[in-house]
Structure 1
Amino acid sequence: MDAIRVVAFAGASNLPLWAGQEQGLFARHGIEVSVEITPNSRAMARDLFDGRFDLALTAVDNIVAYDEGQGEAELPGTADFVALFGVDDGMLNVMAQADVADLPALAGRKVAVDAMTTGFAFVLKEMLGHAGVAYRVHWVAVGGGAQRLGALTAGEQAATLLNTPLDLAAEAAGCRRLARANDVIGPYQGIVGAVRRGTVVSRRAALVGFMRGFRDSLAWLAAEPAGATALLQQRMRMAPAVASCAAAALLDPVRGIFRDLRVDEDGMRTVLALRSRYGVPARHLDDPLRYLDLSLRGEALG
């Protein structure tokens, strides 16, 4: 067995990992997968760069940010991250305290992000910009989705951006859904599987095996929605009704996890447009292929 060490954030992208582990779907392709949840994007970048993990399931914006020298964490060398396949469009929603009626009502309130200049921070900034309040809120860096969900439900911040199924957990706790990211900013590429470029060379066969197992896990989940619900109940301690809704959202053939591991080109262009607008130091970014190596996806699905 080839071992693949994965670092991920709490949320949607982990469901295929759990299914593949429990159903032996990675093992069919000679891969043993271990998974660790990262507290934030800064730790993710450092750990992936240092070789503690082979692959990260992370926002593609993080990959672009560090490759362009705009990441928040100090790395001991030049970042050489590259995305191999896509997982979802982010499945992002602005979730808020129950007393917040809409996005303009966030003026003067605390709004939580993972890190100020990476991840989905620019998505939320753009959404609040459309509402005219991007520069009238108090931004707070809290950490990954699980940390932001906890801070939101504890009343520490007024709003944050959460992916599915964390948005459903927030809603079940009494929080209000204010807006869906895609409805405001259009197509967006969210989570991807990413590695260091050297890993593509040194671990190519193992990465292809991992991607085949990931694909098989998605097929199993689509065929076994009750199994998906049970995994969410077990792994995320969700109530049965919330887990059932989360499984349905994650496995939706149109808006859910990408079953073909595609990277959405229009979504990538939105990522680059937002980073061109808000990233520091300022850069004009317009070439999605600079951050992608889709040759392994072709091999895995061929």
Structure 2
Amino acid sequence: MSKSLRLIGFPNSGLLVFHAGIEIGFFENYATPVSLEVTPSSIYQLVNLIDGKFDIACGAVDNFIAYQENAGEETPKNNPDLAIFMGATQIELSLVAGPGIQTIEDLRGTEVAMDAISTGFAFVLYKMLDNAGLRPGDYSLVSVGATPHRWQGVKDGNYSCTLLIEPFTSQAKALGYKVLCSSRDVFKNYPGQMFGVMRRWANSNEDRIVGFIKGYLDALNWVLNENNTDSARNMLLRHMPQLNPKTVVPALETLKNPETGLVSDGLIDREGLKTVLELRSKYAANDKPLSDIEEYIDETFYRRVINLPKH
């Protein structure tokens, strides 16, 4: 039996595609068994991808860029050699507030929970608050980790707000928490997650990464097929027991919406990637202007699966 490809992703409804690929056998169909680990944070994910504990990561686009530019919040042992090779999701990030917070202005002087404060979706938060007149220093960011940890911190009253994604946004709304702002209010489109890999590993494992792409796209088609809605809903409930039959319905609808969820063909959103670079250039301390998205992309393997014209 082939050695399992080691995949790491964030705890969200998008993991449904991986669960389908593993349980139904889509990855095995291409002799590419996959093992999945859920990451507690972007720091853990990227450091361990670069240092070789994992083969492929599915995560926020800015994280791959940050660590490739040696601007991550921790320094890996190995030199970064990262490439984004396929798209996973578009995203709707919702700024969800705890009790007593009615407007963004109410966040002044409070602590805001984030995964990391200088990578990932932090710059989306900066833009939201900037648009509402709050500047860095008007609030404090606290690095808490992945969405479940941040959401729990808001529920426990430790933080004023955080950015949530599905299925956590639906949970928050069902419990009466207020959404102050959505990324869709600020950006026409913002890429959620993409797949990243170390180029050295990918170039030495070309057949495995191609098998992964084929299996992923088959699993993706299964999730998006309306005939499989009941099975997909049950699978999501099984793997995310914090959901319930009421919140799983909007969570799955959001996941299947191409504007807020799964990218139906795995294509990299180049315009969205430009937005990510613009935000990083504005809000992060960079040694150089970041504008060339092609520096961070390698579609060689994707082109072996999909007849894709070169850019």
Common fold, TM-score beyond 0.5? yes
| Contact 2:90-2:259 at 8 Å conserved across structures | no
Cα root mean square deviation, aligned: 1.5
The residue type equivalent to 2:305 in the other structure is A
Contact in 1 for aligned 2:26/2:218 (Cα 8 Å): yes
Partner of 1:11: 12
Partners of 2:278 and 2:15 in 1: CA distance:
28
Match runs of 1:85-164 below 5 Å: 85-135=86-136, 136-164=138-166
1:31 deviates by 1.4
User: Are 1:2 and 1:30, in contact at CA under 8 Å, matched by a contact in 2?
Assistant: no
Q: Which amino acid aligns with 2:265?
A: D
Structure 1 residues 238-253: aligned runs within 5 Å: 238-253=243-258
1:149 CA displacement: 1.4
Contact 1:276 1:282 in 2 (8 A): no
Q: State the Cα distance separating 1:164 from its structure 2 match.
A: 1.6
Task: Provide closer, same or farther for how the CA distance between residues 133 and 244 of structure 1 changes in structure 2, counting only shifts above 3 A.
Answer: same
- CA shift at 1:89, angstroms? 2.1
Q: What SS is found at the alignment partner of 1:31? A: coil
TM (norm. structure 1) is 0.95
**Cα distance in 2 for residues equivalent to 1:12 and 1:299:** 28
Q: Deviation per CA, 1:71-93: give whole Å up to 9, x if none.
A: 11112232111111011123311
Per-residue CA deviation, residues 189-227 of structure 1 (Å, 9 max, x unaligned), is 221111101122111111111111111111111121112
- Where 2:90 maps in the other structure, the secondary structure is coil
Residues of 1 paired with 2:259 and 2:275: CA distance? Answer: 19
Pick which of 109-118 and 185-194 moved more. Answer: 185-194
Contact 1:117 1:279 in 2 (8 A): yes
Find the partner of 2:194 among 159, 171, 192. Answer: 192
Is the partner of 1:140 in helix, strand or coil? strand
Give me the identity figure in percent. Answer: 33
Determine the structure 2 residue equivalent to 1:180: 182
1:235 aligns with 239
1:286 aligns with 2:291: yes
**Is the CA contact (8 Å cut-off) linking 1:30 and 1:209 kept in structure 2?**
yes
Secondary structure at 1:179's aligned position in 2? Answer: strand
Q: Which amino acid aligns with 1:285?
A: L
5+ unaligned residues in a row in structure 2: which ranges? none
| Displacement of 1:63 | 0.6
Give aligned pairs, total.
Answer: 302
Contact 1:126 1:134 in 2 (8 A): no
Q: Alpha-carbon deviation of 1:2?
A: 4.6
What runs of 5+ residues in structure 1 fail to find an aligned partner? none
Equivalent residue for 2:173?
A: 171
Note the alpha carbon deviations across 1:151-171, whole angstroms, 9 max, x for none. Answer: 122221111111222212222
Query: Residue 40 of structure 2 aligns to a residue in which SS?
Result: coil
The one-letter amino acid of 1:261's match is: G
